[in-house]
Structure 1
Amino acid sequence: MQLTELYSAGLPRLVLFDLDGTLLDSVPDLALAIDRMLAALELPPAGQSQVRNWVGNGAQALVKRALAHSPAAVDGTDTDQFDRAFALFLHHYGLCCAEQSTLYPGAEALLSFLQAKQVLLGLVTNKPIGFTEQLLDEYNLRRFFTLVLGGDTLAEKKPHPMPLLHAMEKLSIAPEHTLMVGDSRSDIRAAQAAGCKVAAVTYGYNHGEPVDSYQPDIIIDNLIELIR
């Protein structure tokens, strides 16, 4: 299904994008940072396939899942271990966040098309804003977005609707003229709670669950399907 089938004006006035698992396959570098963190804690590595199922709720949730997965880790309520692990992860990810990550097929073409059609574009991710901005610069994506929100920009992050509502308010666009594009239940639930339509990609990080379980308005295998 194309966007023109969803909106009476042909296109939405605002499209909000998730980053990890939607525009960027970031798991290779996230897994590298997680495994370096675990090695520093003298814990066994997790590997890419495991990390792929842990991504989606922000950096703190990712680190907590990595610690909980390791049978040699201290009990998950150990604050000192988490604080040390989180600091290690932030350090290592800052060094490697753009080593192996790649843009998904169709990502840049879709962004370019929408920008040329004067559709406002925003980025709403649960990734910390510092890493988000670093990746936007590394992959030359910042030029597309009028607004960028990270997981630590506001008091709440997806699946809470606050980031989407904030973006729509800041850009003065109503929910009925807004589309969220994401890869996970967090994106879908946030969009549904915010009152806007949502397109879900099938290739991203949804904790091993099919995205159609959460009833998005559009399901696509490639971002370019939204306009072709």
Structure 2
Amino acid sequence: MLQAKRTVVFDLDGTLADTSADLLAAANACFRAMGHGDVLTQADALTAFHGGRAMLRLGFSRLGGVDEAAVDAHYPVLLAAYAEGIDTHTRLYPGAVAALEALLSRGFLLSVCTNKPEGLAETLLRRLGVRDLFGALIGADTLATRKPDPAPYVESVRRAGGEVARSMLVGDTETDRKTGLAAGVPVALVTFGPEGHDIARLEPEALLHHFDALPELAERMLG
């Protein structure tokens, strides 16, 4: 019986690419439309990686209080603004493409599991020129649940052609750590993401300081 291929699953925002500037710009476009200036700054990058609603809540908190109805009302506006400028400033992290290609050359399967809406994730990966390197992509709205529920992760592995028991997750946030724990798979958290080396507090199975180290790390973690 052939042994299942090993699968490496990636988060997108803050892991494969630094999307914070374009996410924050989309949120600020909402606040400008309400008659305010730019409420968020690049110092809010960590909040940006927790999604559009998180950015809106932070902005509203600075304007006097969070109104969930207003958050819900402006969320589609934010998504529309983000879609227009999705790759204005966004760039893949150094070494990402070389690492992905090296993993493929070693026989690994690759997939993306993100809490970004699937359509936006598809668009961004294509704009960045790397969509064809991944055998599957699961977004926030692909299934009925999203990370840290393990179902999206499991489905991302299945669609790529792999088995969960021979897979690992590369991410950058507590959500990714919890996803790995829920799915019962090892997690490598990047230290070049929004939390930097502070991400070590989550005690993942590994820390990834640069994409150059990923192929050997995946070999060690998945055997």
Q: TM-score range by the shorter chain?
A: 0.7 to 0.9
Q: 2:28 is matched with which residue?
A: 35
TM-aligned CA deviation for residue 163 of structure 1: 1.0
Deviation for aligned residue 1:227: 2.7
- In structure 2, the partner of 1:3 is none
Structure 2's unaligned 5+ residue stretches are 217-223
Following superposition, the deviation at residue 154 of structure 1 comes to 1.3
Task: Write the mapping of 1:147-226 to structure 2, written as runs, cut at 5 A.
Answer: 147-171=136-160, 173-206=162-195, 210-226=198-214
Aligned equivalent of 2:219: none
157 and 209 in structure 1: CA distance in 2 versus 1, 3 angstrom threshold: farther
TM-score (structure 1 length as normaliser):
0.85
Compute the displacement of 1:26 (Å).
Answer: 0.5
Instruction: Give the letter for the 2:137 counterpart.
Output: V
TM-superposed CA distance for 1:209, in Å, is: 8.2
Contact 2:103–2:215 under 8 Å retained in 1? no
Which residue identity does 1:18 align to in structure 2?
A: D
1:76-129: CA deviation from partner (whole Å, max 9, x where unpaired): 23x1x2233212211211111100111101110111111122211100011111
- Aligned residues of 1:14 and 1:178 also touching (Cα < 8 A): yes
Cα separation, partners in 2 of 1:26 and 1:171, compared to 1, 3 Å? closer
SS of the counterpart of 1:43? coil
Aligned residues: 213
**What is the percent sequence identity of the aligned residues?**
30
Query: Secondary structure at 1:53's aligned position in 2?
Result: helix
**Per-residue deviation, residues 39-96 of structure 1 (Å, max 9, x unmatched):** 111234211112x12133333333333333x2245x423x1x2233212211211111
Residue 16 of structure 2 aligns with an amino acid whose one-letter code is L
Please tell me whether the aligned partners of residues 111 and 160 of structure 2 are also in contact (alpha carbons under 8 angstroms). no
Aligned AA (1:84): A
**Cα deviation digits, residues 130-188 of structure 1 (max 9, x gap):** 21111111111111111101111111211221211222344453333101001111111
Change (3 A) 1:61 1:157: farther
Tell whether 2:63 aligns with 1:71.
yes
Q: Is the 8 A contact 2:189 2:206 kept in 1?
A: yes
> Aligned partners of 1:66 and 1:149: how far apart in 2?
28
Decide whether aligned partners of structure 1 residues 176 and 152 sit closer, same or farther in structure 2, where only a CA change above 3 A counts: same
Match of 1:6 in 2: none
Stretches of structure 1 that go unaligned for 5 or more consecutive residues are: 1-8
Report deviation, 1:203.
Answer: 1.6
Cα offset, 1:205, TM superposition: 2.7
* TM-score of the pair, normalised by structure 2: 0.87
CA RMSD of aligned residues (A): 2.2
Distance 2:85 2:160 in 1: 33
Question: Is 2:24–2:55's contact at 8 Å kept on the other side of the alignment?
Answer: no
> Which consecutive segments of 4 or more residues in structure 1 shift more than 6 A?
none
- Alpha carbons of 1:59 and 1:128: their partners in 2 closer, same or farther (altered >3 Å)? farther
User: Do 1:124 and 1:148's aligned partners in 2 also have CA atoms closer than 8 Å?
Assistant: yes
1:4 aligned partner: none
Output aligned runs, 1:1-228, within 5 Å. Answer: 13-45=6-38, 46-50=40-44, 52-68=45-61, 70-72=62-64, 75-77=66-68, 79=69, 81-171=70-160, 173-206=162-195, 210-227=198-215
Counterpart contact for 1:191–1:197, Cα < 8 Å: yes
C-alpha distance in 1 between matches for 2:52 and 2:126: 20
